[in-house]
Structure 1
C-alpha cells in the first residue's frame, strides 16, 4: 500500500442534466489537480488518485495548507533516509518543487544502497510519483509507477496485494491521461487480481471499480458504469465510514449517471447524500455544492409528473448560483481570458435551467415569486460579462493603478500588438517563418501568464473592474431619467427577457421561440442590407417586436431611451427597425447598446477623464500607400466594404491576415474624404485631419485620448469557415483598412491592416466618442453571455466611452450624409444616442431605405 494525502474537497461531475448531458465525464467543472495538505492519510495511493481526480473543478480552488517549517535539504551529505523524511515534510507543507528535489536526490542513493527491487525503493518511488502528479507531471508520474509495478512484480510476482495496487495506480494515471484502451486493460487486470485475493472486496477493490465506472462514463457506457459504481459504493462505505469525502465522490458520479438514465429516485438519494457530506465538511460555497445542487434541481424538475417538485428545485437552483459565484470569484484570480470564457460557458446551461424554474415559479405565484425573480435577474447581471470584466476594464485600470501595475498592463497590450502584427504579414523566408513561429509561441505563453497575473488584481480593484456581484440597486443607480434597461438571455429554444426602469419598475418574460426569431431576424437583416423598403420589411419588424419588445412594453411609460444588452444572435439585430405596426422603436426612443449591465455600470461609474488632445478625423486612406509603377490604384466604390477575392486559395488554410485577404480589393472611398472635411468643420478648428497617405496606422497610434475619433474607411469581419480555421481568434478577423492596406494584401506587408487585437492597444481613455464610419464594424463572434468579440470590444478595451458601429455594408454617399447630420446635432450638445436617432429619422423621412441609415448603432455608456 502506498501512502497518500487526503484531498481538500470532493466532487465529480458526469453530465449536467437529463436527456441533454454529454455522455462523457465532466461538464463545466473539469478536473483540476489539488495540492496535498497536511491531513490524515488513507490506505493507498490509488485511492488518493481517485480523490484527487474528483476533488476539483474549474471553479474551485485548493485549500491553502499551513506552511511547514523551513526544511534544509543537503543532498551532498544527507542519507537517502534523511532525504526521504525531508521530502515527506516538504510534501506535507505543500512545497512541491522542493519535495520533488529531495526525493530525486534520495533515489540514486537508495538504488545504490538497496537496489531497484527493494520494498523501500518502491516506497520512495511512490512518494516521487505522488509529487510528480501534484505538480502536473502526470506522464512522468505514470513512468514512475510503471517502475514501481515492475519492481514489485520482479520481487513478489504479479498476484500479490502490492502488485495489484501498483497496477491499479498505473491504470488510474492512464485514465487521467486519456489512454482509454490501456486504462481499461490495466484496471480490469487489477480488479481480477484484487478479486482473487479477496472475493468480498476491499477499499482498493472499490477504488478500481470506481475508476472503471468513470472510464465507462467517459466512453458513453452508462449501463456499464452503473454496475461498477454500485458495486464500488458499499466497499467505500464499509472501509471509510459514511462521512468520508471519497464516498461523496462515488455517490456524485453514481447520481449523475442515474440521472441521465432517468432513475430519478436513486439519483436524488445519492446526490442528496453527497451534497450533505460536502456541506458538512467544506461549507456552502464549496465547488461540489454548486455541482450537486444543480444536478438535484434537475432531478426535481426533469422527472415524471408525479415526482416533480418545482419548489424544491428552486431551492437547489439558488444554492447552485451561490456556490458558483463564490468559486468563480476565486478561480478568476488565476485564469487567463480564454479560460474564463470557457469556465462560464460550461455553466451557462445550468443558469438557463435556473431561469426556466424561476418563470415556472412566477406562473404559479406571481406576487410571491418577486424576490425569486429579482434574485435570478441579479444572478444574470453578475454572470453576463464577468469573463470580460478585466479585458473591458483595462483602460480604467490604467488610470487608477500603481506604476508597477500600469507597466504590466502596457506590456500586455504591447505584446498583443506584436502578436497581431506577426499574424498579419506572412514571413518572407523559411528562416523567417521558423523564427516567427517560435516568437508567436513565446508571445502566447507570455500573454497567458500576464492575463493570469492581471487577474490577481480583480479583488484589489473591485471598484474599477466590478468583478463581483451586480445588483439591481447598482443598476438603477446609473440609469438616467427616462431610461429602460433591456436584457436578454438567448438559448436554442427560448429567450428570457428582462426590463428594468430608471424608477425601479421591473418586468420579466419567458419567450418560447423555437428558433423562429433567429430565422426572422436574419430575413430582416438581409432585406435591410439589400435595400428593401420599410414596408417590405414590416412583417419581420412587427413579428420581432411582438416577440421581443411587446411583452416588456408595460415598462415603457414615460421612457425616452432604451439601453439594450442583447445575447447570442440578438447582438446583430437592428432593434431600431422593430415596429408595433404604427411606429418603429427608432421613432419612439433613442437606443444604445451595451455588452452587459456590468459594462454599463463600469462606463458610467468610472471617474471622468478629460481628453488630452483635440478631435481626430481619418478619411479616404491611400490604400496603395506606395505608388505602383505598373499597377493602377484600385477603383472608386459606392460602398465601404472590401471586395472579397472569393475564397480559400487552393483550399489551403492561411496563417496570416494578409494571406486570408489575398484577392481582396480595398476600393478608393472619395466620399470619406468629403465626409472627413465636413466632420472636422463641425468638430472645430483644432480638429486634426488625416487624409490619403496620412490616414495611416502610424498617425492613429500616435494619438492620445482625442476628444472624438472618427475613422472613415473600409471595415471587415472575416466569417467564412476557412477564414475561421485560418484565424481562430475573432479579434484577428475584425479590422479596419488604413493607408497601405492594399499594398499589405497584394505584397504581404503588415502596414495598413489593423485588427481588433491591435486597436485594443490605442490610448483612448478620455475619448468621449469613436465613430467607425465603415462597413460591418459591429460584427464579430457572439460569445454567449459576453457580447461580441470584435471591434466594439477592442475600442471598449482601449477606453472609449461610446462607439458608433455598423451592422452591414453601407453605401458611401448616404453614409457621409448620415454622419454630417449626426455631427451637426452632436456638436451642438445633443447626447450621442439622441443625435444618431435624429440623423436616422432625417434620412428615413426623406424616404431612404433602412440600408442607408439603420446599420449604425451606438454602443457604450
Structure 2
C-alpha cells in the first residue's frame, strides 16, 4: 500500500454541500467519547465470550460474525484474524472469504492473492465467481501485476454475458446482475487507470456509480439480513469513492469535489451511518488538501482519524489511520502551522516506530524534510534526505518529480547550514526537472502542497544565488530565469490539462499529443507504485514486479523524449504553451525598444526581488525587504479602497499611503532605470498581480504622482509568455474591425418577461461562495444556478458604442442578448470569421474553476440555451481551439483579474489561452466597475487607438485613463484604474 506520495493536497473554498457534511458529522468526537468506556467493555465482552461447541453451525457463524464486527469497532486486527481462523474451521467457504478481505485490508497482499486464487478456482455461483475475480484482480492491480489482472477482468465480462445472461428474467436475478456489472466496471476502471487510460476509466467509473445507485435502491427488497445489507452498503460507497479517488489522481480536483458531494448526498439519503463515513471524510480531506483549502481539510482529516482510531486507542496500527494522519499533517503544513506539524510528525514517528507503518519509511521524504526545515532542524533533515534520495534515484532515475523534489529539499537543508557549494548541484537538479522542456515529469495529479514545496525549493535556490547577482551578470541571469519559472508555474498545470483536451486542428499534432498523454499517464501509475516501495517487506514481496516496472518506465521515458523532441521541432508554438522555457536577459533585451523597460517582480517568503532590463541589455537588480505576506496585507488594504465603485458617496478614500509604500519598496529603488521610458512591461504573480500597477502613487501624500501619468504599462504573466507573444506581433493585421458579444441572457425565463432587467450603475460580479448549487451533477451546468448569474444589460450600450467607433456592422458583428451564445463563438471560428477581426469583445462574466458544478477551468459565461446538453460556457479548453488574429481581446465585465490568487490564476490561464489562439493583448478588469466610467474608458481607448496609427495599445489605455480621471466624479482610481492591459502593449 502506497503512502510515500502526500495524498492529494488542496486549493479552493469548500462547496455548500461539503459544509453541510461537516455539520452532519460535527458531534463525532463527542459521540465516540461517550461510547468509549461502555462500548469498549461491551465489544471486549463479545470478543471474549466463548462459543458453545455444541451450538448449531448457523448459530456459530452468527456469533463469529458478531465477534468480527466487535473487533472492527475497537480496531483490534489481531483479535479479528484469530476469530476468522476459528470461523474457517466450521465454515470454510464463508470464513475464507472474510479472511481474504481481512488480509487485503491489512495490506497482506501475498496471502490475499494466494487465498483469492483458491476462491476463484472453487467458486461456481456466477455472481460469487465475478466477485472472487474482482477481488483477486484488485490484489494484482495493487501489486502492479497487471498481466495477471487482465485475464480476470475478461473472465468477469464473459461470466456476465454468458453465465448470468438469464438473470435478467427475474427481479432477484437482475439485482445480482446489476451488482456484478458494478464490480466489473469498477475493476476494469482500476486496471485502465494503471495503464494510463484515464479518460476511459473515468467513463467506466460513472457506469459503476449508476449500477451502485440501482443496487442500493433494490437492496431492501432482495437482501433481508442486516449484516449482508451492511456488506452491500460498503460496496456501494466504495463505487462512489473509487470515482472520487480517480478524479483526484487525475488532478481534476473540482470534478472530484462535485463527485464527492454526489457521494455524500447519496450516502445521507440512503441512511448510511458514521461507520460508513470514513471514506467520505477521508476523501473530503484529500480533495480539500488537493485544492488548497487546508483549514477545511484539517477538520475532515481529524474526523477520519478518530473513526480509524476506534473506541480503543489503536493509533499507529492501521493503514487507514495512517492515511488520515497524512492528510492531518498535510493540512497543518499547508496552513503554515509548523510547530503543530512538527508535533504531529514526532507523535506519528513515535506511534509507528516499531510497526510496518514506520513514519520515516512510509511518509513522503520531501514532506518530512520540509517540516524539519521549517522547524530549524536542517542538520536532522540532511542525512535522512541523503539516504532516501539515493533509494528514490535508484528506483526512478533522476528525471522525475519525486527525486527532484527530494534533491531540492536536500539543497535547502545544506544551504541552511551554510554549505553553499554542496547545495548548488542539488538545487540545479531540482530546477532542471521542474522547468526544462526535456524533463519527464508525470505530474498530472500535482496538488497544492506539492506546488508549495516546489516553490519553497525554488525560493531557497533564489535566496542562495541572489547574493552574487549584484556583481555577477551570469548569476543575475540565472536568478532571473528561476524567478520567471516562479511567476509562470502557478497556472501551468491547469493550462496543460485544458490544452490536452482542446480540439487540435493538425492531425499529426493531435496524434503526438495523444501518445504523449497516454505515456505520461501510464508513467504516473508506475511512479506512484514505485514511490510506495518504501518498507522492506513491500520491496521483498515484489522485487520482480519492481524490476519489470523500472524497465517499462525507462521505455516510456524514451518514448516521451522522442515525442517531445518531435513536438519541439515541428510544433514549437504548442510546445512553448505546454512547457515554456524561461528566457535569458539578452533575449528579453533584444525584443525591447529604446523607450521600453522590462520589469520582473517576484515575491518570496522573506523578501522580494526586482529586475529591470532595457534594450541595451543593462540590468538593474533590487532586493527588497518586503516579503509576500507583508505585500499581501498592503494589497488587500488598498483593494478595499478600490472595489468600491458601487458605494457612491460612502466609498472610502483611496489608501494612498499603503499604495505608495508598495511603490517605494519595489520600484522606488530602481527609478533611475524607469526614467525616460514610455512603456513598462511588467511580469509578476502573487499579491502584486491582484492590482494594476497604474494605480501606484509615487508619493505617499499630497499629489499622488500616479505611475500611469509617467508610463504606459503592460502586464504579462511571465517573461517566457511575453516572448511568445512577440512572434504574434509580426503577423499581418486582420482586415476587419470588430466582433463582439454582450448582454448575454443567463435566465431564459426572465428574458421572456416584459421589461427585463434595467441598466445597473455598477456591474455585479459572480460570487460563487454565496450561491447554493442544486440539480444533477451529471449535467454540464446546473441550470437554476446559471440563471442566478447577475445580468449585464449595460454592456449592450458599451458594445454598440465600440462598434460605432470601430466602424463595425452592428447587424453582422454584434451578438447581443439571446444571440450571445457559446455556439455562436464556435461557429464564427469554424467559418474563419474570428481570424478576420482586429478586436474581439466578450462583455460578460468570467468564471473560475468551481464556480459552477463540473466547471474545472476558467470560462466566460455566455447566453443560456434551451438545451440541457449544450453548455453555455466558453471554457479555456474552447479558447485554445480558436483561431484568431486579434490585436485586442476585451474581457469587459469579467472581473477576471480579481482580488485573490484564484482569480489571478484564471486571468493568467485565459490570457495564455487567448495568446495561443492568436490574440496579442487582453483588456481586463480587476474589480467591479461603474458602468458610465467603464464605457467612457473603453470607448476613449479605442478612439485614441484608431486616430493614431503609430500609437501603442498600452499608450491608448494610458491616455484613456488620464481623460477619465479628469472628470470630477471619476477622480477616484476606482473609476479610472480598473482596466489593465495584459500581453503585447505595442502596436
Question: Is the TM-score greater than 0.5?
Answer: yes
Residue from 784, 788, 791 that aligns with 1:662: 788
Q: Paired residue for 1:483?
A: 596
**Cα distance in 1 between the residues matched to 2:371 and 2:449:** 24
Q: Paired residue for 1:559?
A: 677
Residue from 431, 444, 456 that aligns with 1:321: 431
Contact kept? 1:615, 1:687, Cα under 8 Å: no
- The 3 A distance-change label for structure 1 pair 725 and 779 is closer
**Cα distance in 1 between the residues matched to 2:729 and 2:566:** 17
**Cα distance in 2 between the residues matched to 1:523 and 1:252:** 35
| Cα distance per residue 1:56-94 (max 9 Å; x no partner) | xxxxxxxxxxxxxxxxxxxxxxxxxxxxxxxxxxx9xx9
User: 1:351 offset after TM fit, Å?
Assistant: 1.8
SS of 2:901's equivalent? strand
Higher deviation after alignment, 589-598 or 810-819: 810-819
Q: Paired residue for 1:419?
A: none
Contact kept? 1:770, 1:804, Cα under 8 Å: yes
User: 1:254 offset after TM fit, Å?
Assistant: 8.3
The reply on whether 1:403 has 2:507 as its aligned counterpart is yes
Q: Paired residue for 1:800?
A: 919
The reply on whether 1:503 has 2:616 as its aligned counterpart is yes
**Cα distance in 2 between the residues matched to 1:522 and 1:486:** 22
Alignment of 1:57-96 (within 5 A): none
- The 3 A distance-change label for structure 1 pair 400 and 674 is closer
Q: Paired residue for 2:961?
A: 840
The reply on whether 1:460 has 2:566 as its aligned counterpart is yes
**Cα distance in 2 between the residues matched to 1:396 and 1:350:** 28
Q: Paired residue for 2:241?
A: none
Gaps of 5+ in 2: 10-102, 110-139, 157-189, 202-281, 287-300, 330-343, 515-558
User: 1:774 offset after TM fit, Å?
Assistant: 3.1
| Cα distance per residue 1:761-813 (max 9 Å; x no partner) | 67343222122333524448635995636754553454322111122222333
User: 1:349 offset after TM fit, Å?
Assistant: 2.3
The reply on whether 1:587 has 2:713 as its aligned counterpart is no
Higher deviation after alignment, 259-268 or 288-297: 259-268
**Cα distance in 2 between the residues matched to 1:809 and 1:704:** 28
Contact kept? 1:625, 1:693, Cα under 8 Å: no
- The 3 A distance-change label for structure 1 pair 397 and 374 is farther
Structure 1 length normalisation: TM-score?
A: 0.59
**Cα distance in 2 between the residues matched to 1:576 and 1:679:** 25
Contact kept? 2:462, 2:483, Cα under 8 Å: no
User: 1:641 offset after TM fit, Å?
Assistant: 3.8
Contact kept? 1:659, 1:748, Cα under 8 Å: no
**Cα distance in 2 between the residues matched to 1:860 and 1:396:** 23
| Cα distance per residue 1:573-622 (max 9 Å; x no partner) | 12101121263221111111112222112211358555666223437647
The reply on whether 1:292 has 2:419 as its aligned counterpart is no
- The 3 A distance-change label for structure 1 pair 824 and 468 is closer
- The 3 A distance-change label for structure 1 pair 686 and 315 is same
User: 1:549 offset after TM fit, Å?
Assistant: 1.7
- The 3 A distance-change label for structure 1 pair 398 and 649 is closer
**Cα distance in 2 between the residues matched to 1:251 and 1:528:** 44
SS of 1:825's equivalent? helix
User: 1:508 offset after TM fit, Å?
Assistant: 3.8
SS of 1:487's equivalent? strand
Q: Paired residue for 1:709?
A: 839
Higher deviation after alignment, 792-801 or 752-761: 752-761
Q: Paired residue for 2:249?
A: none
The reply on whether 1:675 has 2:801 as its aligned counterpart is yes
**Cα distance in 2 between the residues matched to 1:248 and 1:327:** 31
- The 3 A distance-change label for structure 1 pair 409 and 764 is farther
Contact kept? 1:184, 1:215, Cα under 8 Å: no
Contact kept? 2:588, 2:723, Cα under 8 Å: yes
Q: Paired residue for 1:125?
A: none
User: 1:285 offset after TM fit, Å?
Assistant: 4.6
Alignment of 1:700-779 (within 5 A): 700-701=825-826, 702=828, 703-711=833-841, 713=843, 715-717=844-846, 724=850, 726-727=852-853, 729=855, 731=857, 735-736=860-861, 754-757=873-876, 760=879, 763-774=882-893, 776-779=895-898
Higher deviation after alignment, 659-668 or 211-220: 211-220
How many residue pairs get aligned? The number is 638
User: 1:648 offset after TM fit, Å?
Assistant: 3.3
Q: Paired residue for 1:530?
A: 644
- The 3 A distance-change label for structure 1 pair 409 and 585 is farther
**Cα distance in 2 between the residues matched to 1:217 and 1:517:** 31
Contact kept? 1:709, 1:770, Cα under 8 Å: yes
Q: Paired residue for 1:548?
A: 666
**Cα distance in 1 between the residues matched to 2:393 and 2:512:** 40
Residue from 452, 468, 477 that aligns with 1:374: 477
Instruction: Say what the alpha-carbon RMSD is for the aligned residues.
Output: 6.0
Q: Paired residue for 1:88?
A: none
User: 1:454 offset after TM fit, Å?
Assistant: 12
- The 3 A distance-change label for structure 1 pair 540 and 210 is closer
**Cα distance in 2 between the residues matched to 1:397 and 1:103:** 32
Q: Paired residue for 1:471?
A: 583
SS of 2:956's equivalent? helix
Contact kept? 1:300, 1:308, Cα under 8 Å: yes
Higher helix share: 2
SS of 2:836's equivalent? coil
- The 3 A distance-change label for structure 1 pair 214 and 273 is farther
**Cα distance in 1 between the residues matched to 2:853 and 2:153:** 43
- The 3 A distance-change label for structure 1 pair 257 and 355 is closer
The reply on whether 1:388 has 2:492 as its aligned counterpart is yes
The reply on whether 1:356 has 2:469 as its aligned counterpart is no
